Chains A and B, each alone.
Chain A
Amino acid sequence: MKSNIKVALVGNPNTGKSTLFNLLTGLNQKIGNFPGVTVDKKLGLCKLADGQIAEIIDLPGTYSLYPKSADESIVLEILSNKNNPSFPNLIIIVADATNLKRNLLLYTQIADLRIPVIIALNMIDLAEKSHLQIHINHLAKLLNVTIVPLAARKNIGITELKKAILHCPTIALQYPSIAIENIATALIAEISLELKIDNPYIALQIAHQHKSLKYIDKANHPLIEALKAKHHFNSQKAQAQETIARYNYINDVLADTVKYPAIALEENISNKIDHVLTHKVWGLAIFFGILFTIFQSIFSWSSYPMALIENLFVGLANLSHAYLPQGALSNLLVDGVLAGLSGVMVFIPQIALLFAFISVLEDTGYMARVTFMMDKLMRKVGLSGKSVVPLIGGLACAVPSIMSTRTIENWKNRMITIMVTPLVSCSARLPIYTLLISLVVPNKYVGGFINLQGLTLMAMYVLSIVMAIVVAWVMKKIIKSREQGYFIMELPVYRMPRWHNVGITMYESVKTFVTQAGKVIIAISIILWVLASYGPGNTFYNIDKKYQNNKFNNFSVDEINKLKAAEKLENSYAGVLGKSIEPAIKPLGFDWKIGIALITSFAAREVFVGTMATLYSVDGDDTKIEPVRNKMAKARNTQTGQLVFTTATAFSLMIFYAFAMQCMSTMAVVYRETKNIKWPIIQFVYMLVLAYGCSFVVYQVLK
């Protein structure tokens, strides 16, 4: 399919832009009610009538072409440069009909870029409901632009919009809004001349933002600065003058076309909900209540599907053992790959649930209220209210969360948020916590309804968030910055979550987890199985020989096999590797087997459970196939004969995984977002030191 026309979707946050994008393209992407969820440019193809195809680009939501945050700057970057590969033939401005005035500010700026424009007037149903009368035809005439009324959530107006795209003009027909030249006549003329720009508004924008526009040659910066100085150009004053002029124009246009309801409507539902949800006492209580419910549900709702998956894999392993021919290859398949995969696939239900909860919180608009409530607290520790979203998102995965910090305007706040987000326990730690908790914490109920295991899990999460806040506070003292942060944020009205959207989020998260983690896990499982099944030189031969000795005559065949397997593992390549780091991790209560897991899960935490499953399968006796949990519960130290997973070791291990940076993807994204190798290195080191120190203390105290 080749597209005939490029269309850019532009609009304020919370105007339903992403919903419209999904309706037009059928491509799925994350949609949220929180300002700024759409951080990356999203592409999709839209089939029009006549078999024509339009390429749709979803640009980040923004209130104006003067960006407040890193992701907003992409809008002007694309729209002011004809040579940009994403430069559109047509711009669709998605405007909220219930808030036309503020939405038209962006329209007037875009209109002056002289690219053909259509206005998609969304939420027209809500405007009608609140008795707001918009004379669409008259408005369209005054602006000389096509306006398509829409109710994207109800799928109304999409066909008309597609028709409008098909019949869009090839040149900009909309009337210019304000007299741009009046803002800085001489400067605009000189920049236009020097840089060969034929549009006065783009020339003005270059005067304002040339340093952040990537297509402006660096060599031109001194020239532009000199011109600005020559004409006494004050960027902020010019911007204020422009904004006031634009609103005057908008007021004139709206005076004839929009009638507001005569009497102020009764307090809307959103406000009533906020009375409770952002209440001094109840607001915070409800927030923590919601978090508590989420963790309880993750444990209780997922137990049945988890048991199902566990049994499925046990069945599969039984079948493979029964039908596959004996040999190294089938051993590799069953003890290596299958064992590794089963250990991780079990956690699909929990991960799907966690992502579903976070998606609902974002989609309903509740996340924006959490931001509102937590801002003051967050500021005390060097973060911003907006850091709450990445931190809560960190419960799912640090990678998209670190990308979402782009909405934080203040550099220092953003850096600290990036540095501490990986401390928040992500879904990859969930399998480790659940496994270890189920080993050492009894499955009992306290006070009738509080599950002890669920409580422990929640404690791990609370601890991780507390640690993130403590580290943020320390960094606030260390990092120096004079830049002033601000917090001007729209509070969107509450909406019902779009269940279709929640479903997509669950599906996508599981898909990513299975494909991304699955690949790594299969690869590492295979390597690990090889390392655990073979040893250096002729050690394995010697072990075999040793057990042929007469002194083992009193032992049964089973017992000999078991002893042999244990000794082989200990002397295998994996065993040697684990043993080599044992002195370093012994103070934390870890033996060499856990050492192997630490090494293999260095790049990704998900591998831990798989490693455990593989190690204990190689070690275990072949006649009984059991879930990894049971094998670990019975594991004993070969020298002391004591249980390996005591309460002290299990908790020390959980703390280590909670604080250590064992995720290549996170380090890669931190490097990409900070553009300085210094930050991921600092992060790796401080997290390792923190993890080692805390594990040491926990083990020594609980021992």
Chain B
Amino acid sequence: MKLSQLKIGQKGIIKEFTDLAMSVKLMEMGCLPGEEIKLDRIAPMGCPIAVSVAGYQLSLRKKEAATIELI
């Protein structure tokens, strides 16, 4: 399952990334394999999304969230 497929309030654990360039940026921001990630909110127009990860809130676009595979 991908991060972009989570429902609001649902949690997942990061397994791997499907895009190398994106993974570098996401990991710097604390999205690491093994981290728990929760979908908090979706923006009014359906994108971007806000997730809780590594103790803070991060927003990213759906397309970017689709590069994160969850366990």
Residues of chain A having any CB pair with chain B under 8 Å: 63-64, 66, 68, 98-99, 101-102, 105, 236-237, 239-240, 243-244, 247, 270-271, 274-275, 278-281, 283-284, 372-373, 375-377, 385, 486-491, 493
Contact = CB atoms under 8 A, between A and B. Distances in A.
Nearest to B61: A487
B59 A274 contact: no
B27 interface: yes
Nearest to B52: A271
Interface of A is mostly: helix
Nearest to B46: A376
B54 A376 contact: no
Given A101-B55, A240-B20, A375 B47 contact: yes
A284 B27 CA distance: 31
B50 A274 contact: yes
Contacts of A488: 25-26, 29, 58-60, 64
B48 interface: yes
Contact of A284 (B40, B44, B46): B44
A428 B64 CA distance: 40
Interface in B17-63: 20-30, 32, 40-41, 43-48, 50, 54-61
Given A274-B40, A491-B56, 8 more contacts: A240-B24, A244-B27, A247-B32, A270-B57, A275-B41, A372-B43, A486-B60, A488-B26
> Which A-B residue pairs are the 8 nearest by beta carbons?
A376-B45, A102-B30, A491-B57, A243-B27, A280-B44, A64-B28, A376-B47, A487-B61
A469 to B, nearest CB: 15
Contacts of B24: 66, 236, 239-240, 243
B60 to A, nearest CB: 5
B55 to A, nearest CB: 5
Contacts of A64: 28
B20 A237 contact: yes
Interface of B is mostly: mixed
Contacts of A372: 43, 48, 50, 59
Nearest to B58: A490
B44 A489 contact: no
Contacts of B28: 63-64, 66, 105, 243
8 contacts: A236-B24, A240-B27, A275-B41, A284-B44, A486-B60, A487-B61, A489-B60, A491-B50
Given A490-B57, A490-B58, A373 B27 contact: no
Contacts of A274: 40-41, 50
Given A243-B27, A376-B46, A102 B54 contact: yes
B30 to A, nearest CB: 4
A413 to B, nearest CB: 13
Interface size class of B (residues with CB under 8 A): 20 to 34
Contacts of B21: 236
Contacts of B60: 486-489
A648 to B, nearest CB: 39
A271 B44 CA distance: 16
Contact of B58 (A284, A375, A489): A489
Nearest to B20: A236
A490 B55 CA distance: 11
A618 B55 CA distance: 67
Contacts of B43: 278, 372-373, 375-376
Contacts of A236: 20-21, 24
A68 B48 CA distance: 19
Most A CB contacts (10 A, CB to CB) among B20, B45, B64 go to B45
B61 to A, nearest CB: 5
Most B CB contacts (10 A, CB to CB) among A243, A247, A274, A488 go to A488
Given A489-B59, A490-B57, A376 B48 contact: yes
A66 B24 CA distance: 10
Contacts of B32: 244, 247
A102 B29 contact: yes
B54 A486 contact: no
Contacts of A98: 55-56
Contacts of A239: 24
Contacts of A283: 44
A373 B44 contact: yes
Nearest to A377: B45
Most B CB contacts (10 A, CB to CB) among A247, A274, A275 go to A247
Contacts of A279: 44
Contacts of B29: 63, 102, 488, 490
Contacts of A271: 40, 57
Given A63-B29, A236-B21, A372-B43, A102 B56 contact: yes
A408 B8 CA distance: 28
Contacts of A377: 45
